[in-house]
Amino acid sequence: MYEDDYENVHRSEERGERVEMEVEIYESADTVKAHHPITEKVDGSKRTDIQSQHSGGDTAGSRCYRLAAVCLGLLCVLLLTAIILVTIRFNNLTIKRDQLQTSYTDLTKANHQLQTSYKNLTIANHQLQTINTTLTAERDQLQSSYKNLTRANHQLQTSNKNLTIANHQLQTINTTLTAERDQLQTSNKNLTRSNHQLQAINTKLTTDIDQLRKERDDLLKSLLDPKKETNPEKGWKYFSSSIYYITAVKTNWEKSRDNCRKRGADLLIINSREEQEFINKEFGRNKAWIGLTDAVKEGVWKWVDGSALTTEFWAKGEPNNYENDDCAITGFEKSRSNILEWADFPCGHSLFGICEKRLTGYSKL
């Protein structure tokens, strides 16, 4: 709409310029007419009629005059037509100007209204954004609460199932315990009767144990007596539930073990620190074979009875398998705790051997 109005105004300006040019043409024609040679004064005297002096036909001057009159008439017609057109166009432009002013006023009002609406909408937008942020936070909190409640609900359902199962189990256990209690009460009565019988048996066993202890002491005295022909060497040493003996001749590990077996014993098996200290005290002046070897599998040390090595007293850097050392000795060197420690030696070396004989049947007396 605005572009059409602008174009109409521009065309009106162009037509106005054309009208001004036509007016200038008419004014020029009037000037020519005012200076016609027929009406022109000569030397301040009155105009004279030149036509009387040129009688006898049309002259060049009369022809020019008629031509000028015709042209002037045409120009007048054109001028009148232009004035009418200009007047009509001016009225139209005036109407359109009024319409444009009215439209401009309306547009100005609409613009103010739009600006006011824009400000209101901006404020409402900020309020909506704030509300949206708040609602989003509340939604996230509700979602988190929903997840937590859902998780807690599953946990409670699982707990309820577990408690139901546990309740059934407890009922079963209660029934079983009730039955067992009845059985125990019956057993208690039976045990009470058995207890009286065992007390009588215990009294008899106490008497028997005292007799066995006396026999054990007599046997140990007999075994440890160096004057007996069965012990021509230095004699046996007693510790805990075993007796110990060190051979008088140096030989290799296998022969030392054979010597021990001939005496109903075997090479020494050490099971505790107290036993190692006893061996150090009684036989620690010499290096001697003990019943420990890894000849079957290198690095896997076992005692002569087939048991695994659990308590060990290796010297620093031992065992090292320096010369294919598969047999163990005690009395190698003293540690900081004054214990003669172990080392691995080649089984073919000649050393003393320590024998151990367990007193089976007397260990608990």
- Whether 114 maps to a domain, the answer reads yes
* Cα–Cα distance for residue pair 112/355, rounded to 1 Å: 122
* Cα–Cα distance for residue pair 147/325, rounded to 1 Å: 70
Number of domains in the chain: 2
> Domain check: are 152 and 284 in the same one?
no
pLDDT of residue 225: 55
- Whether 182 maps to a domain, the answer reads no
**What pTM does this model have?**
0.40
pLDDT of residue 107: 93
pLDDT of residue 25: 52
Tell me the residue range of the domain where 291 lies. Answer: 236-358
Question: Which one of 167, 195, 221 terminates a domain?
Answer: 167
> Domain check: are 145 and 13 in the same one?
yes
- Whether 174 maps to a domain, the answer reads no
pLDDT of residue 62: 85
Q: What crossing angle do the helices spanning 60-223 and 2-34 adopt, rounded to 10°?
A: 160
Positions of the chain with pLDDT under 50: 2, 9, 19, 23, 29, 32-56, 226, 228-233, 362-364
Distances (CA, A) of 47 to 29, 35, 36, 37, 186: 21, 12, 11, 9, 179
> Domain check: are 151 and 240 in the same one?
no
Convert the pLDDT of each residue in 97-132 to its tens digit. 999 999 999 999 999 999 999 999 999 999 999 999
pLDDT of residue 267: 97
* Cα–Cα distance for residue pair 130/139, rounded to 1 Å: 14
> Domain check: are 4 and 116 in the same one?
yes
> Domain check: are 246 and 159 in the same one?
no
- Read off the CATH number of the domain in which 331 is found: 3.10.100.10
> Domain check: are 34 and 162 in the same one?
yes
Tokens found for residue 194: 């058995």
* Cα–Cα distance for residue pair 79/296, rounded to 1 Å: 145
> Domain check: are 28 and 158 in the same one?
yes
Residue with tokens 């048996």: 201
Q: How many CA atoms lie within 13 A of 138 on its CB side?
A: 6
pLDDT of residue 329: 94
Judged on CB neighbours under 10 Å (0-12, 13-18, 19+), 168 is exposed
Q: What are phi and psi of 359, to 5 degrees?
A: -90, 75
Convert the pLDDT of each residue in 220-275 to its tens digit. 655 555 454 344 345 789 898 899 999 989 999 999 999 999 999 999 999 999 99
E runs forming strands in the chain = 237-239, 242-246, 266-267, 288-293, 302-303, 327-330, 343-345, 352-358
Q: What are phi and psi of 300, to 5 degrees?
A: -105, 100
